[in-house]
Structure 1
Amino acid sequence: MLLYGADIKPAGSLSLLVSLPTMLVAFARYSRDGSFAVVGANLCFAALMATGSISGVLLGGLSLR
């Protein structure tokens, strides 16, 4: 944004678009590795963290209006 003078919304969207393939590859590798078994063992904690993340996204999105 500061380097190229782009607007904040397209710059943020482009940042997410660039990191998406990296996240998809990481999820694919970890799922084959069996590393997500830890999440299953701590399902209550993972659900609590997901609830906080989703509520943060909703509140953040609503605050942009």
Structure 2
Amino acid sequence: MTFALWVDQQGGVSAAARLLGVSQPTVWYWYKAQRVPRPNYKKKITKIAAQNIDFSELEAQWLAAKEQK
């Protein structure tokens, strides 16, 4: 499952932010692939989701956007 799909299943950015204990803008930046979660947050997300979250799509989108700048 991708991070974006997981966020959608939680009810959106606000709900996911509450579950993760981070700000809404933080989750929004991850959701829109404008930033990539640090390793400690990836572990937390995976633990809270109780399943594997595939961050590769998010990372690829972030890298592509960074290369265009």
Task: Provide TM-score, normalisation by structure 2.
Answer: 0.32
Structure 1 or 2, whichever has the larger Rg, is 1
Task: Provide TM-score, normalisation by structure 1.
Answer: 0.34
Higher relative contact order (CA 8 A, sep 6+): 2
Indicate the structure with greater helix content.
1
